[in-house]
Amino acid sequence: MSVLSVTITHPKPGRTRDSIALGVQAAKLLARVGADNCRLLVAEAAGEAAGTQVFTIEFDSNEAYGVFSDKAAVDPQLEALADQLTAEDSPVVVLFQGLVTEIPIGGRSGRGRVVQSYVSRPKPGQLDATIELTKKAFAFLEKRGAVCTRLIQNTVAGSLSDTLVATWEFESMQALGKAGDAFMTDAEGIALGQSATGKDAPIVMVNAAIYRDVPLG
């Protein structure tokens, strides 16, 4: 059961390169205390969230996150990093910090350079139906080359708590676009879209976005 610590920021005007450099610096410091599964994503097609940056740290469990958090709270370098993140001269504005938990549904592993997310809120009593619909959507996407298909629940996330985030990844924007076309032209894809948005849908859509992976190494 993977648990991810998520920090979402927006670069200040003219500070995008500095904000990415801060993410690289953070990944190096975090690796020193055992949090070496870090990732930085930059939102491209994301509506009002375009340009935001999502920094994640992945852990094997809530307890593993707790061990890290306790260490970070007394680590001088990580304390300095936290201060730098919110300082007046910081290259970013912090928009969100929270915890999310993966719902294991047997999606395909791997990693791509382009990530699409689909955030929804299950209707009352419809969690099981939502998971089944997600499995069907992932199978459809995986047949078209998607990797890292995951369903994640926002567990400690303010007003977004208990929403679900379905994500899938492709090696390129072209490949992602081709899969998107299939939802509009393939009978199975059209049916899936109707199941997700029709009056009998088990979910209410919150937002969708496309991100690019930024190498941290």
Per-residue pLDDT tens for 13-40?
999 999 999 999 999 999 988 898 999 9
Q: What is the pLDDT of residue 166?
A: 98
166 and 73 part of one domain: no
Q: What is the pLDDT of residue 33?
A: 87
Q: How far apart are CA 146 and CA 13, in angstroms?
A: 34
Q: How far apart are CA 79 and CA 73, in angstroms?
A: 7
Q: Are 206 and 162 in contact (CB under 8 A)?
A: no
Which is it for the CA torsion 13, 41, 55, 150, positive or negative?
Answer: positive
126 and 89 part of one domain: no
The fraction of the chain above a pLDDT of 90, given in percent, is 95
127 and 194 part of one domain: yes
142 and 67 part of one domain: no
Which is it for the CA torsion 33, 40, 104, 99, positive or negative?
Answer: positive
- Among 55, 80, 101, give the residue marking a domain's end: 101
134 and 85 part of one domain: no
217 falls within a domain: no
Q: Which domain holds residue 66?
A: 3-101
Q: Kindly indicate the confidence band of residue 1, based on its pLDDT and cuts at 50, 70 and 90.
A: confident
The reported pTM is 0.95
- Among 101, 130, 147, give the residue marking a domain's end: 101
> For residue 157, is pLDDT > 80?
yes
Per-residue pLDDT tens for 36-93?
899 999 999 999 999 999 999 999 999 999 999 999 999 999 999 999 999 999 999 9
Q: How far apart are CA 189 and CA 193, in angstroms?
A: 6
Q: How big is the CA angle at 159 (ends 132 and 48), to the nearest 5 degrees?
A: 90
Q: Are 20 and 214 in contact (CB under 8 A)?
A: yes
